[in-house]
Amino acid sequence: MSAKTSAARGAAFFAALAATGNQALACERARVSRSWVGLHAREEPGFRAAMDAAIAEARASFDKLRTSGGGARPAAAWRAQDGEELVVRGTNGRRVQVARARLKQWTPRTEARFLARLAATCNVKAACAAVAMS
């Protein structure tokens, strides 16, 4: 790693990458640039191997959650970042990772808010409007 970036930030990046499987979110959490990660991944084989191991660890943890019937939800520390909701994404053989929820995406949090509003009002249209899904 370069002298400009501390070993603690590198460790934070790998920990976040192992938790999410998402390089962009891990960079944001560790406060390192994506170009820094790309540079080190290209130039340092050990760094690339550590990245691959962290991504494999994330994939294994999501596979374990799915097979145990726990569903695929991000850990409590990864439910939101900078005010944006995060979800577990990836099907049809793609890599599973924690990612930002798309605009108007149906998420577990959206579903809980919708069902609470529906129970309170018994009005589907009002419940949809309350969660911005009209």
Averaged pLDDT, 36-43: 91
> pLDDT class for 51, splitting at 50, 70, 90?
very high
- The answer to whether residues 13 and 67 belong to one domain is yes
| Residues 74-113: tens digit of each pLDDT | 555 555 555 566 666 665 666 666 666 666 777 777 788 8
Range of the domain at 27: 7-71
Q: Would you say 73 and 39 are in contact if contact means Cβ atoms under 8 Å apart?
A: no
Q: Is residue 33 part of a domain?
A: yes
**Do 12 and 53 belong to one domain?**
yes
CA gyration radius for the chain?
Answer: 18
Choose from 18-27, 40-49, 71-80 the range with maximum mean pLDDT.
Answer: 40-49
Domain annotation covers residue 113: yes
Same domain, 11 and 63: yes
Residue 21 carries which side chain, given as an amino acid letter?
Answer: G
Written as six digits, the tokens of 91 are 């099907």
Instruction: Name residues whose C-beta falls within 8 Å of residue 40's C-beta, 6 or more positions apart in sequence.
Output: 1, 2, 47
Any domain includes 79: no
In a domain, 85, yes or no: no
The answer to whether residue 82 is domain-embedded is no
